[in-house]
């Protein structure tokens, strides 16, 4: 298989999965309706009208017409994929396509010419492929936590300092000297914690941990403060 064929296959795969129509239905942006009118007195549930948030907010039904939302349509994703691919570039469908784009945007979804990447990839700018602007999709850097073996699997491309932070297994401590869990977590009513690598935290002993946590709270009392971290010495 040639490079051009491979790129075309990737492009087709990308296009086929780019929009979650079921999510847009659930959000009230793009939905299947049975639109009954003089021209169509018996609408077919298999080929419903595409009604958008724009239609519901900005248009009124003609006298005698009725619009009934479908409660279920298992093939809505496939139905809309077919409609979108067939009509999104047709001048005669521009009004409906614009309504769909506007409605999706109202619920936080931008529908562009390729807005999502393949699973395991993320968008890093745009590029031109076969005369079209598409996302530049690169492999996503990730961190996986192995629940059963209590180990951390790190992507090789992660920053070395971040790798070290995870491998050290930092924990948080309260003013009573108790280790309350991993650093970054928080229980209801818990104040500002003191975080240290687990090995250092256990080496301090309960009194040492209590002293370090109280010192942290004196120097940095607001548990909801945002911004640059304040480093407070563990020991005097």
Name the DSSP class of 185.
B
Could you tell me if 43 and 131 lie in one domain?
Answer: yes
Note the pLDDT of residue 137: 72
Could you tell me if 18 and 82 lie in one domain?
Answer: yes
Output the pTM of the full model: 0.44
User: Which residues 6+ apart lie within 8 Å of 84 measured at CB?
Assistant: 19, 100
Grouping H, G, I as helix, E, B as strand and the rest as coil, residue 39 is coil
Q: C-alpha 7: how far from its chain's center?
A: 26
Residue 230 forms part of a structural domain: no
Least confident of 14-23, 58-67, 175-184: 14-23
Q: How far is CA 89 from CA 13, 21, 86, in A?
A: 19, 18, 8
Q: How many domains does the chain have?
A: 2
Q: How far is CA 2 from CA 8, 14, 235, in A?
A: 10, 19, 64
Least confident of 19-28, 57-66, 98-107, 108-117: 108-117
Could you tell me if 148 and 39 lie in one domain?
Answer: no
For residue 26, what is the enclosing H or E element?
helix 21-26
> How many other C-beta atoms are found inside a 10 Å radius of the C-beta of residue 36?
17
- As a whole number of Å, the end-to-end CA separation of the chain is 67
Rg over CA atoms, the chain: 27
Note the pLDDT of residue 232: 72
Residue 72 forms part of a structural domain: yes
Among candidates 63, 81, 68, which has minimal Cα distance to 17?
81
195 pLDDT higher than 70: yes
Q: Which two tokens stand for residue 43?
A: 């609408």
Residue 120 forms part of a structural domain: yes
Of residues 79 and 216, more confidently modeled: 79
182 pLDDT higher than 70: yes
Grouping H, G, I as helix, E, B as strand and the rest as coil, residue 225 is coil
Could you tell me if 72 and 102 lie in one domain?
Answer: yes
Domain hosting 42: range is 3-139
């Amino acid at each position: 298989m040639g490079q051009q064929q491979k790129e075309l296959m990737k492009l087709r795969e990308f296009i086929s999965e780019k929009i979650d129509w079921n999510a847009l239905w659930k959000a009230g942006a793009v939905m299947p309706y049975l639109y009954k009118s003089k021209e169509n007195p018996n609408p077919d549930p298999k080929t419903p009208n595409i009604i958008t948030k724009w239609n519901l907010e900005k248009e009124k039904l003609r006298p005698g017409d009725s619009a009934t939302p479908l409660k279920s349509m298992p093939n809505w994703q496939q139905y809309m994929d077919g409609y979108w691919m067939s009509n999104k570039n047709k001048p005669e469908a521009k009004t409906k396509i614009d309504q769909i784009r506007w409605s999706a945007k109202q619920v936080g979804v931008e529908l562009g010419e390729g807005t999502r990447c393949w699973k395991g990839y993320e968008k890093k700018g745009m590029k031109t492929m076969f005369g079209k602007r598409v996302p530049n999709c690169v492999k996503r850097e990730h961190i996986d936590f192995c629940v059963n073996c209590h180990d951390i699997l790190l992507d090789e491309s992660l920053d070395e300092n971040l790798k070290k932070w995870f491998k050290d297994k930092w924990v948080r401590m309260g003013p009573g000297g108790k280790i309350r869990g991993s650093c970054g977590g928080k229980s209801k009513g818990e104040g500002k914690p003191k975080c240290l690598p687990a090995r250092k935290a256990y080496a301090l002993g309960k009194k040492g941990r209590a002293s370090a946590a109280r010192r942290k709270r004196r120097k940095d009392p607001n548990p909801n403060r945002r911004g640059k971290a304040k480093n407070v010495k563990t020991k005097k």
